[in-house]
Amino acid sequence: MSLRAIAALHALVIGFLLLPLFALAQSSVQKPIGLDARLANPVMKAGSKQQNYLRVALNGCEPKRSDNRNPVNVSFVIDRSGSMAGQRIAQAREAAILALKRLDQNDIASVVIFDNQVDVLAPAQPVSNQDHVIDLVRGITVRGSTAIYDGVMQGAREVRKFKDARRLNRVVLLSDGLANVGPKDPAEFAKLGRDLLAEGISVSTIGLGLDYNEDLMLALARAADGSMSNNTTKCSATSCGVKPSVFSKTKVLPAETMSRCCR
C-alpha cells in the first residue's frame, strides 16, 4: 500500500471516530467544521524503516479560553533574521500576539528575539500589561543571520527565572529553522531539547515559510516533549500554531496528533 493510501486510510478511520464530535459541534455553531489530515514528513525514503507522524486537526471555530488550564511560564523566542522578511515575520508577530492574548495574570511570559545576536525584548514577568508587550512584538523587524540555538538558550534562561513545578514551563520557538550561526545539526538541537526537558523545560516549535527546516524544528520539539506545528498560509488563531497544545502538557505522539478547538 502506498504512503498516500496509508495516510488516507488513517484519516478515514479517525474521521469515523470523530463523527460524534462533528455532530455535536455542528449543532452548536453555524461555521462548518473541517477535518485536515497530513503527514509530518510527506516524502520518505523507499525501502527503509522510518517513523512518521500523521497530524489530524479539526478547525472551524476559534479556541475557547479554558479557565481550568495550568498556569504557564512561557518564553516566546522569535526569529528576526533576514530570511524571515515579509510574510514570515508578520506571521511570527501575529502568532506571538495571539498567544499572549490567551494569557492572564496567573501566567508568566517573556519575549526573546534573535538574529546573529540575541536580545530580551520583554523579560520574564507576570502577565499584567499585555498591551505593552504586544506593542513591543508589533515593532519587531528583520536583520542579520540566524542563531537559533542561542535564542532558545536565552528563552530557557527566562523560563528558569520563574520555573515552578506547578506551572507549564515552556519555550515556544517561532522560526524558519534556517540556522547559520552556531549549532545547525538537528542532532545538536535534539540534545538541547533533552537537556532542557531534564530540568523541567519543554520546547514547542512553529515552523514558518514553505522551506522551513522541518528536521531541526521537529528534532527539538520531539526531544523536549513539546509540539511542532507549521504555517504556510495566511495566519489565523490556529494556523499560526497558537493552539491549546502550545500550553498543554500533552506529548506529541507518533501516528496521530489531535489539535482540537471545539469542545
The residue written with cell numbers 508568566 in the block is 108
What's the length of the chain? 263
pLDDT confidence band for 248 (50 / 70 / 90)? low
The rounded distance, in Å, linking the Cα atoms of 222 and 252 is: 7
Residue 166: the pLDDT is 92
For 114-170, the pLDDT digits (tens) are 999 999 999 999 999 889 999 999 999 999 999 999 999 999 999 999 999 999 999
The rounded distance, in Å, linking the Cα atoms of 159 and 172 is: 11
Strand order in the sheet with 118-126: 118-126, 108-114, 72-79, 168-175, 202-208, 228-231
The rounded distance, in Å, linking the Cα atoms of 191 and 95 is: 26
Which triple of cell numbers denotes residue 131? Answer: 498591551
The rounded distance, in Å, linking the Cα atoms of 209 and 98 is: 18
The rounded distance, in Å, linking the Cα atoms of 104 and 260 is: 21
Q: Which residue has better confidence, 24 or 210? A: 210
Residue 46: the pLDDT is 80
For 100-118, the pLDDT digits (tens) are 999 999 999 999 999 999 9
pLDDT confidence band for 227 (50 / 70 / 90)? confident
Residue 24: the pLDDT is 47
Provide the 10 A C-beta neighbour count for residue 159: 26
The rounded distance, in Å, linking the Cα atoms of 169 and 75 is: 9
Say which residues have a Cβ less than 8 Å from residue 206's Cβ, sequence separation at least 6: 92, 95, 172, 173, 174, 175, 217, 228, 229, 230, 231, 240, 241
Residue 52: the pLDDT is 74
Residue 189 is given by DSSP the state H
The rounded distance, in Å, linking the Cα atoms of 118 and 138 is: 18
CA contacts within 13 A on the Cβ side of 13: 9
Which triple of cell numbers denotes residue 110? Answer: 517573556
The rounded distance, in Å, linking the Cα atoms of 135 and 114 is: 18
Residue 163: the pLDDT is 96
Whether 180 has a pLDDT exceeding 90, the answer reads yes
Percent of the chain predicted with pLDDT > 90: 56
For 37-90, the pLDDT digits (tens) are 777 666 777 887 877 777 777 666 665 655 667 899 999 999 999 999 999 999
Q: Mean pLDDT for the chain? A: 79
Give CATH superfamily name and number for 72-251: von Willebrand factor, type A domain (3.40.50.410)
Percent of the chain predicted with pLDDT > 70: 69
Which triple of cell numbers denotes residue 175? Answer: 522560526
Residue ranges of domains in the chain:
3-59, 72-251
In three-state secondary structure terms, 141 is coil
For 187-205, the pLDDT digits (tens) are 999 999 999 999 999 999 9
Say which residues have a Cβ less than 8 Å from residue 156's Cβ, sequence separation at least 6: 75, 171, 196, 201
